[in-house]
Structure 1
């Protein structure tokens, strides 16, 4: 039986692939456990500089596997006592979402927790929490409006309607849309460009961008200046 999450590393780049294509990569406890293990490996392995998360088959991730719930199971959004945002948030290395197909509800939340997204032309995005009547729990209400703005986030979440890859690009949800067969090569190319930079500085900039989101601009400038002064004390610039 194949693993529900595939993991491979090449030249400092980890490729994490959700691997339940027959279930549209729907989330169950086994997939979550293996996904958490993969992200923990990225965080703790000094030889890994960047990670890419993608899906196998027609779907990136279709959200919770409702068939298991109907069969009498209870989906627990936590695994090892942690939620997905806690796990990915503890990883200070860049994580690129390579969206190969539909990203729906919990799958969209996985995508939103990545640092940025590259989409196949076949990708599509939807928040169907209102349709399936499940409360969001992995950052949808905060991260979606950061990506597309409050008004578009409301429209997506209230209606549950899908955005095409091209429309998602216009809204700012994804950074690029590429032909389907070029998705992983393009994501790896971007990852290689990140690897070419200094890992410490990449981590510092990632932290600053995330820390400064939502605070006043003058405070953001002050924090960056203080960080720069601390950096100069530790490093000699040639």
Structure 2
């Protein structure tokens, strides 16, 4: 499946590519994939590179070991690593710019703990699959921090404001079944099947026409942050410009392929 595997930041991030798909694996299992500065830098660089790579149409992000990520490396943070420097958090910081600016759909495959900053990284993905053993929590208030990668705004929009308040005010853990019932994750998979199912979906995405796929992702993500009226105007402007300039000669063949796929 993958014809290229690369270890970045002394192996803290493993990037595998092949057949139109890239797999990013956070690889600090002994620290439950705590987000060191070097790991975050590697993740930012990988997302930026993959966004421009014409051989990649979809990305899967997961963690190795028993966690997706438990968030920022607090030991490193206490040593003054610069992560909390002014401007590094929020949509203008390097981490969120890398996620928000990535043209390619990103599937988060949550394989274990997704806690606080790790929960925020999961929410930065376009959608989530979760293993049966996955556990989520927002412990910002318990450790004395506040979210800076979008959790306080994205979580209420996904699960409802009252449930989001309970999650963030208490810091309590909840499981994959609740996450699916609340609309936070799209699918719960067995632990053994999580990665295979996420990669299978990524390969399905990779069969779409890249230009249309990336345009739709951009419209959805930008529209989600705007009012419905403004977002509909934006969609109309972009669809008029895009659809009036496409070559329709290949549509019949693509439609035939889709019908054959549906019959299967």
Instruction: Provide the TM-score with structure 1 as the length reference.
Output: 0.93
1:213-224 correspondence runs (5 A): 213-224=224-235
The question of 1:18 aligning with 2:26 is answered yes
CA contact (8 A) 1:83 1:138 kept: no
**What is residue 76 of structure 1 aligned with on the other side?**
83
The separation in 2 between residues aligned to 1:40 and 1:207, in whole angstroms, is 15
**What is residue 172 of structure 1 aligned with on the other side?**
183
**What is residue 33 of structure 1 aligned with on the other side?**
41
The separation in 2 between residues aligned to 1:187 and 1:65, in whole angstroms, is 27
**What is residue 70 of structure 2 aligned with on the other side?**
62
Does 204-213 or 221-230 show the bigger shift?
Answer: 221-230
**What is residue 128 of structure 2 aligned with on the other side?**
117
**What is residue 239 of structure 2 aligned with on the other side?**
228
The question of 1:206 aligning with 2:217 is answered yes
1:106 to 104, 108, 117: 117
SS in structure 2 at match of 1:130: helix
Q: Which runs of 5+ in 1 are unaligned?
A: none
Instruction: Provide the TM-score with structure 2 as the length reference.
Output: 0.84
1:33 is displaced (CA, Å) by 1.4
The question of 1:129 aligning with 2:140 is answered yes
SS in structure 2 at match of 1:14: strand
1:214 is displaced (CA, Å) by 4.7
The separation in 1 between residues aligned to 2:132 and 2:125, in whole angstroms, is 19
Q: Which runs of 5+ in 2 are unaligned?
A: 1-8, 250-264
1:213 is displaced (CA, Å) by 1.6
2:14 to 6, 12, 18: 6
Across the aligned residues of Structure 1 and Structure 2, the Cα RMSD in angstroms comes to 1.8
1:142 is displaced (CA, Å) by 1.2
